[in-house]
Structure 1
Amino acid sequence: MPALEFNINKIRNDFPTLKQSINDNQLVYLDSAATTQKPQSVIDVINEFYTSQNANVHRGRHTLSEHATTLYEQARDKTAKYFNVLSKEIVWTKGATEAINLVSNGLRNRLSKNDTIIISALEHHANIVPWQVLSEQTGAKLIALPVNHDGTLNIKQCCDFIKQSKPSLLTITQASNTLGNITNLEPLITAAKNVDSLVLIDGAQGAMHLKPDLRKLNCDFYVCSSHKMLGPTGLGVLYGQYEALNSLDVYQTGGEMIDKVYLTHSTYRPAPAKFETGTPNISGVMGFSAALDYLNAIQSSELHRYEQELFKYAAEQLVTIEGITIYSNLSDNIGTLSFNFKDEHPYDLATLLDGYGVAVRAGHHCTQPLMAHLGLNGTLRASFCFYNTYEDVDIFINSLKECIALLD
């Protein structure tokens, strides 16, 4: 399907949730880093599946089952094409969190006290805690990349750190969920590969905004979530280079992933089936397939250009408000503004903004180590997506000014 011209009015009309009022005000949804809104086409596909196509996959020879299986595997092919990888390298999971846990579990028998795992203070808890558990289980040393005082990375310093540490695994975010800062991954991955390290990239924030070419990126594993890419909740993607993926221990056992089962032992199918146990989230896969169709119908460069221009417009206005401190990197960002007003608690401002119909996030954003590094208890986070408008920004800024007036 050829890419369509970027038309914000048409796009807005495709998202039914955005056409409502909150507290008698037009909804301004600025929480897409938590979850994106869904186009009507995604909602329709899920409804159609349960209305007229409902059947299990891979388990029947009747028409409904075979049709569901075809659509299900076509979605895997579509996902692989989106990331420029092989279909057999795509595993369906419950989300990015489960995908990370699947990899950490799969490495339990490969690491020991002689190994090192490198993370960073920028990570979501989902890309920290599984590695803490793995470290406790195996004795592997868990260390963090050096982070600048402002939450950015000195890439040369980090590459030197990797070279000296010689980790068995480097796991790092593609873009910070709290700050929106984009990680310059290529030199970090090269440095890790030079010391024979595996690399896992948390792409929960980057997969839609940055549309990475994973073959070119050359990471071993990449994880993302459907619900942050216009799709339904409860579905995630684990990409793994096939040899690395197939070398992982099984995560869960049961039906579908087995080859042969005897009373005393079993053998398992190769990836991706090896990691897809039981009845999957079929409707979620169908919905994600429709979400990819929607994204593929928009020229990715146009989507990125619009998001960046909108982000710049918002940042330029926000920075002029007296008492506002912005923590996000404004020059290399997916479209997220993390900020505070003086010493006011972010929850108070978020609550006041909701009274104006403006939905933002407040708190530590599941990044407590980053908050500690920045010396903060939390921030307000306004995260933009391509379905937001300049009018949304104006309402957000004007509402914020009125809320600040109430607090002063």
Structure 2
Amino acid sequence: MNKITIDMFPAKNGDAFLIRLDNKRNILIDMGYDDTYRDYIKDKLIEIKNEKQCIDLLVITHIDEDHIEGAIEFLKENGDSNMPNIIEIKEVWYNSYRHLQFDKMKVNNISLFENRKLEEIKLSNSGGSKKEVSEASPVSAEQGSTLAGYLYGLGYDVNRRWNSSFNYESVNLDNRNEVSLGDIKIYILSPNTKKLNRLSELWTKKLHEIDIDFCISDEKIFDDAYEMYMKKLKQIIDIDEDMDIAHDMKEFEKLVQGEIKQKRKDRSDSNGASISFILEYKEKKLLFLGDAHEDIIMENLNEYMNLGNSLEFDVVKISHHGSIKNNFKWIEAIKSKKYLISTNGKRHGHPNDEVIARILQCNDNDKFFYFNYPLDTAKSLNNIKLKEKYKFSLVVGDGTSNVQIKVGDK
């Protein structure tokens, strides 16, 4: 039996991972789109429940729809947090509006005008109608539209299951940078207060556009409007990667043998606030980078190393689906046996060939690349001479079933 088994689900251009440990603990990281949950994750959750286990931790790394839509669908079906229909979730990590850092004084209640404006922001990207969203009513399948809305409506806040490891405040390494779940240790690499403040500033700017004296409060309408606005803003400002990607052996050889440069860095504030971490269990180490920015990753990998820890990992989940804007310096700083790339390649040109080539340049140990879809990149890498020369193997999913990664035999 393996110490750790990771399921990487087909999530289109998104992320969805299930980590199962031999101590019967289970950690779910992001849930892709709604059909990711329905078609792939749900049966796994039922299987875990039938084994008399639960999800000990659900991590929703950040607000983008390719990470949270499946979680919204799941929470809708799972129902009350204390009487779940499918499976118990002991704790959820997710940073909503109220977990941001705000300098402005909060009021108890906002005006009818301000409430109406927040409803308009919420509805502008929900596809719903005003009849469907009543803040006074319990969350239901018909009314729910946001992840935060379900977490509130289904009792994850009052039942102390939401960010409880962080004293119900933000998942933020400035609040707490190490969490223990029994014999599992989790070291937080991102976000920090600075990264969360960037999102806070975006939201505050939007409110000031409506009214320079717009009041803020802890009313739930803020969470819904904030989440909808951030998802819509992401769609507007997201910039495609360069699409002129070469997919043949000779071009990969040229890349590996040449100088690779990082032309741009990821500037998305929602990605910057992504939760990323190191998981340690029985001398095995997993590095899950979410969609995090590389500056904060490097800063905290160095902090981790300064504590006397090695930067050799058994598994690395590559940041932001293999975008070179998020993956460059850390590649030469660490060593890993297994690299996970979650994307169907149909958005933004992910993964960038330069990221794969950079790993081949910097890691001369035997290694595996895991893809959950049969990408052109994977096909071009599937060359005997190339694999022998650069000491790598491939595991390529068909895009219709999960890819399983096993770590450490007993």
Highest RCO, 1 vs 2 (Cα 8 Å, sep ≥ 6): 1
Decide which structure has greater helix share: 1
TM-score normalised per structure 2: 0.30
